[in-house]
Chain A
Amino acid sequence: MRITINKFTFLLPNRFIGFVLKKAVINEDLFGDKTEKEVQDLFKLVRKELIEFKKRNGRIVLVDVKDSDGSRVKIVL
């Protein structure tokens, strides 16, 4: 997984996908009354699904945010 924040690019192992998505895409208040284990299990499934998708279809830009002030965040799997 490649995360670009403005001019800086970070390469992260795919095992961090769930963590990154949790922070970047889905707000924690959406977890509702789910337990921490339920959330962790869900993100394990998310990671598995994304990795399988990448194997079948190749690289995918998950998120690309360009803010009005010029800042940019891009997450590429």
Chain B
Amino acid sequence: MSKWENDISYPDITILSDLSELLGVSLDELLGKTTEPTVIQQRTEPKDSKDMILRIVINDSDGSKVKVNLPLSLIKLGLHSNFQVSSTGNKEILKDIDFDQIIKMAESGLIGKLVEIEDEDGTTVDIFID
């Protein structure tokens, strides 16, 4: 170590990782590149539910595609008023989906694809919360 401090020789590169761990500093700090330890802060604050979007994507077996994007607050409003989400193209596939439960899942922090259904005729329905 003293040889390194006096610029006489340098430690073997293969021990640098162990050395940095032993001293509790990063490799950059060990090599003198930074003076302050880097602190990485990752903020993952959940989105307010009133700014979330419920996305419904229907790929019908006949080739038609339907995408509906609605604010979650709007779905809540519809459920509160005892309205049902419309089925599209006379498909009954959406009628059994519990949107109240989906909203509860979203409010508890679950986002992404929450529902994936494939009908017997090949129609698929995906429901996302973004």
- Look across to chain B and name the residue whose beta carbon is closest to the beta carbon of A73: B66
B91 to chain A, nearest CB (A): 12
Interchain CB contact under 8 A, B77 and A62: no
B73 proximity list for chain A (CB < 8 A): 49, 53
Interchain CB contact under 8 A, B64 and A68: yes
> Which range contains the number of A residues in contact with the other chain?
20 to 34
- Look across to chain A and name the residue whose beta carbon is closest to the beta carbon of B63: A68
**Contact pick for A53, options B62, B64, B68, B71, CB 8 Å:** B71
Q: Secondary structure at chain B's binding surface: helix, strand, loop or mixed?
A: mixed
Number of interface residues of B (CB under 8 A): 24
Interchain CB contact under 8 A, B64 and A46: no
What are 17 A-to-B residue pairs whose CB atoms are below 8 Å?
A26-B86, A30-B84, A30-B86, A31-B83, A45-B77, A49-B73, A50-B71, A50-B74, A53-B51, A53-B71, A60-B69, A61-B69, A62-B68, A62-B69, A64-B65, A64-B68, A68-B64
Given contacts A30-B84, A62-B70, A68-B64, 20 further A-B contacts (CB under 8 A): A27-B86, A30-B86, A42-B83, A45-B77, A46-B77, A49-B71, A49-B77, A53-B51, A57-B51, A60-B53, A60-B69, A60-B71, A61-B69, A63-B66, A65-B88, A66-B64, A66-B65, A67-B64, A68-B60, A68-B62
- Please give the residue numbers on chain B whose beta carbons come within 8 Å of chain A beta carbons, in ascending order: 50-51, 53, 60, 62-71, 73-74, 77-78, 81-84, 86, 88
